[in-house]
């Protein structure tokens, strides 16, 4: 369901619910009709994201929304508070709130955060449900604010809605069952999105992929009935660009592990292994509307990874586009193989910087859990710029090293590289997220590059703040923020 967002000084008639922000100290807004003592007696302490529906004589449902200490309110606090408000009134078709007018946050940033929180918290994937009784009904959001900040609120709300809808599109793609999203399906969606957004798009079929010498993509695809696809998206701003960035997304539409077969449990979430490619598509889709000044090229590297009589075997060697030969010792370490070709293509575009996004390793989940992405890169200032954008977007990311002495763990007896690090006496590879990053680094040359391992936060086990259960669309908001404020790193 679409959402309209408007700005008004007072709540219009007929609004179903009104969210009223309450800090942990200071005066309680009179419009709520309850005193601090009454709220406390009801168990409401105004902690960030805490909500309490307050009985009213009639008209709109009133909801107290905790924002914590007034001096500590940030856009992130408002985003999560707005998400909690939306979930508190799941059947409401219209909602008004003064959250965007809380002091301490610029009106445009506040409006964007509140709009994102509401829009993302009301997301549910229901395409294959016969009964949609649990579907959110919210179709109208009114941001209450003073007339003097009306324009800033409107601009922020428009940006928030655009970004949130792009996140929702990524969530739809990630949540889609694998039988409905093979590589050709993803490419078709990308073509449609590109037309709508005004992007240039190319779709490479298997013949073009072979002609382009994308040996990693072809190797992973060997066991599949479905052909691979590579999608190249291009955004070029009007006038002089502030720089050029290349994005590369892992698009494994289903990962069985190939002949290095995963367990049954391990395969249950592997429809999400194309989240990186979906994120690249989502980011590219909003760049024209946002008027981003950087030129951006995006590559989606799409195939599935299945076992069959033609599948690549442990011990096989293939030649990547870069000319590097790779010994495949574990066919379940396939994402880095398609990314190797994608990163080579990206480097050939001669950008100022590259970012790849991938659900790459279980080792990163072991290190950082399911809420934090790993960040690795070859240029400190570029890594710092990405991390700063993540902080502003309220997406948790943590820097991980690329220790040069671990590079020898990728040495192969029969090829230039092997696709996994050396194992210890128990047969277990240590530092798997790091050796995966070191593998990818071999294909970027001297271009500043960052690798985002989103294996953990790309999928959520439960609702939490603006995150909804299932595919999350994680990293899209960080990348949009990054590209909107892009500064070309020096080489």
CATH fold for the domain made of 4-168: 3.40.220
Output the tens digit of pLDDT for each of the chain's 491 residues: 799 999 999 999 999 999 999 999 999 999 999 999 999 999 999 999 999 999 887 789 999 999 999 999 999 999 999 999 999 999 999 999 999 999 999 999 999 999 999 999 999 999 998 877 778 889 999 999 998 899 999 999 999 999 999 999 999 999 999 999 999 999 999 999 999 999 999 999 999 999 999 999 999 999 999 999 999 999 999 999 999 999 999 999 999 999 999 999 999 999 999 999 999 999 999 999 999 999 999 999 999 999 999 999 999 999 999 999 999 999 999 999 999 999 999 999 999 999 999 999 999 999 999 999 999 999 999 999 999 999 999 999 999 999 999 999 999 999 999 999 975 544 445 899 999 999 999 999 999 999 999 999 999 999 999 999 999 999 999 999 999 999 888 65
For 367, the token pair is 């290190």
DSSP state for residue 255 in the 8-state scheme: E
Helix (H, G, I), strand (E, B) or coil at 115: helix
**10 Å Cβ neighbour count for 28?**
18
What whole-number distance in Å separates Cα of residue 484 and Cα of residue 407? 34
Q: Please list, in sequence order, all residues whose beta carbon lies within 8 angstroms of the beta carbon of residue 300, skipping any fewer than 6 positions away.
A: 186, 187, 190, 229, 230, 231, 233, 249, 251, 277, 280, 281
Cα 96–97–103 angle (5° rounding)? 155
Q: Are strands 353-358 and 316-319 parallel, antiparallel or unpaired?
A: unpaired
> 176-484: CATH homologous superfamily?
Zn peptidases (3.40.630.10)
The per-residue pLDDT for 426 is: 43
DSSP 377-433: ES-HHHHHHHHHHHHHHT--EEE----GGGGGGG--SSSSEESSPPB-TTS-BSSHH
Looking at the DSSP bridge assignments, the partners of residue 21 are 65
What is the Cβ-side half-sphere exposure of residue 407, based on CA atoms within 13 angstroms? 9
- Residues with active-site annotation: 262, 336
The per-residue pLDDT for 159 is: 98
Q: Please list, in sequence order, all residues whose beta carbon lies within 8 angstroms of the beta carbon of residue 173, skipping any fewer than 6 positions away.
A: 181, 186, 189, 274, 278, 281, 471
DSSP 146-206: -GGGHHHHHHHHHHHHHHHHHHHHHHHHHHS-GGG--HHHHHHHHHHHHHHHT-EEEEE-H
* Model pLDDT for residues 45-87, shown as the tens digit of each residue: 999 999 999 988 778 999 999 999 999 999 999 999 999 999 9
Judge whether 112 and 159 are in contact, CB under 8 Å: yes
Domain boundaries, the chain: 4-168, 176-484
**10 Å Cβ neighbour count for 270?**
19
Cα dihedral value 370, 376, 380, 381, nearest 10: -60
* Model pLDDT for residues 376-396, shown as the tens digit of each residue: 999 999 999 999 999 999 999
């Amino acid at each position: 369901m679409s959402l309209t967002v408007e700005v008004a000084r007072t709540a219009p008639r007929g609004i179903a619910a009104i969210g009223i922000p309450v800090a942990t100290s200071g005066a309680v807004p009179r419009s709520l009709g309850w005193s601090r003592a009454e709220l406390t007696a009801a168990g409401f302490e105004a902690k960030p994201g805490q909500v309490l529906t307050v009985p009213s004589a009639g008209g709109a449902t009133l909801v107290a929304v905790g924002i914590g200490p007034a001096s500590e309110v940030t856009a992130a606090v408002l985003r999560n508070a707005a998400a909690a408000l939306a979930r508190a009134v799941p059947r409401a078709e219209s909602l008004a709130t003064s959250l965007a007018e809380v002091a301490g946050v610029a009106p445009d940033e506040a409006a964007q955060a509140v709009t994102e929180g509401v829009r993302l918290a009301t997301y549910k994937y229901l395409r294959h449900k016969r009964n949609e009784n649990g579907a959110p009904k919210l179709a109208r959001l009114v941001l209450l604010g003073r007339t003097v900040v009306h324009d800033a609120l409107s601009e922020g709300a428009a940006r928030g809605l655009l970004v949130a809808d792009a996140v929702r599109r990524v969530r739809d793609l990630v949540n889609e069952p694998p039988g409905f999203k093979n590589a050709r399906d993803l490419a078709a969606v990308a073509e449609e999105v590109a037309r709508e957004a005004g992007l240039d798009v190319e779709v490479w079929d298997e013949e073009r992929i072979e002609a382009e010498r994308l040996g990693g993509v072809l190797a992973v695809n060997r066991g599949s009935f479905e052909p691979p696809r590579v999608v190249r998206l291009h955004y070029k701003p009007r006038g002089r660009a502030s720089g050029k960035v290349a994005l590369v997304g892992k698009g494994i539409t289903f990962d069985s592990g190939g002949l290095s077969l995963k367990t049954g449990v391990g395969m249950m979430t592997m429809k999400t292994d194309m989240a990186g490619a979906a994120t690249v598509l989502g980011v590219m889709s909003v760049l024209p509307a946002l008027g981003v000044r950087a030129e951006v090229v995006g590559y989606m590297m799409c195939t599935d990874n299945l076992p069959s009589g033609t599948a690549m075997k442990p011990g096989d060697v293939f030649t990547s586009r870069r000319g590097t030969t790779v010994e495949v010792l574990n066919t379940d370490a396939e994402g880095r193989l398609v990314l190797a070709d994608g990163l080579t293509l990206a480097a050939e575009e001669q950008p100022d910087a590259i970012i790849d996004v991938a659900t790459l390793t279980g080792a990163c989940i072991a290190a950082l859990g399911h809420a934090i992405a790993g960040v690795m890169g070859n240029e400190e200032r570029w890594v710092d710029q990405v991390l700063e954008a993540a902080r502003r977007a309220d997406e948790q990311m943590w820097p991980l090293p690329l220790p040069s002495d671990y590079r020898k763990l990728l040495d192969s007896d029969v090829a230039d590289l092997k696709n996994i690090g050396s194992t210890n006496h128990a047969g277990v590879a240590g530092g798997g997220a790091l050796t995966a990053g070191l593998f990818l680094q071999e294909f970027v040359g001297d271009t500043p590059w960052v690798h985002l391992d989103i294996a953990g936060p790309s999928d959520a086990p439960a609702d939490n703040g603006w995150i909804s259960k299932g595919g999350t669309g994680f990293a899209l908001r960080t990348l949009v923020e990054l590209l909107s404020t892009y500064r070309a790193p020096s080489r």
